[in-house]
Amino acid sequence: MKKQSIEMNILRFLLVFSIISIINLIRKLPVKDWLIIFLLKGVLSSVLDTFVVKKGYIKYPVTLLKSVNISFGFDYLLYPITCVYYNQITKSSNIFGILIKALYFSIPMAVIEHFLEKKTDLIEFKKGWTSFTSFCTMTITFLISRSIIALVKKADNNLVPEN
């Protein structure tokens, strides 16, 4: 089997896995919060990824969509889904739990990304970008999304019902 077809199979598997995961996500309440996080993370990921690709830090030689220079499946599906799961498990956590759980998600993702960068043509790091850079970026964006949903919940709780 050609290397590129193995990589395409990895991308297809991740796409199917993401779709199945979305079905699981939308069954948990509060759906509104999870949708906000999912959409926010998709936008945030794609903006950041577009920036680092245009600056030449990351390259995606093999993609499902030939016309897209970013990792579409990761930016719009896998990463937002992971972020929703992160927010679900930190829903009742204190600040220490939120920080530790961000590491629980970021470390495995960085390790997997490192493996994919070293063993496949799915991603290439350039210009000093490293797995540690990805780890830090992922951790920060997990914490940003968690902060934003906390602000949304606080604003929602502060609204006075109209009579």
- The string of pLDDT tens digits covering residues 24-68 is 777 777 888 888 999 999 999 989 988 999 999 999 888 776 666
**Tell me, what's the pLDDT at 2?**
62
What local confidence, expressed as pLDDT, does residue 68 receive?
64
**pTM, whole model, 2 decimals?**
0.84
CA 125, chain centre distance (Å): 18
In sequence order, which residues have a C-beta less than 8 Å from that of residue 95 and are 6 or more positions away? none
Check residue 22 and give its pLDDT: 77
**Nearest-5° Cα angle at 74, 148 to 59:** 115
3-state secondary structure of 120: coil
Low-confidence ranges of the chain (pLDDT < 50): none
Tell me the residue type at 100: I
Q: What is the pLDDT of residue 133?
A: 96
pLDDT of the residue at 33: 87
pLDDT of residue 163: 56
What local confidence, expressed as pLDDT, does residue 30 receive? 82
DSSP 77: I
Count of beta carbons in the 10 Å neighbourhood of residue 149: 20
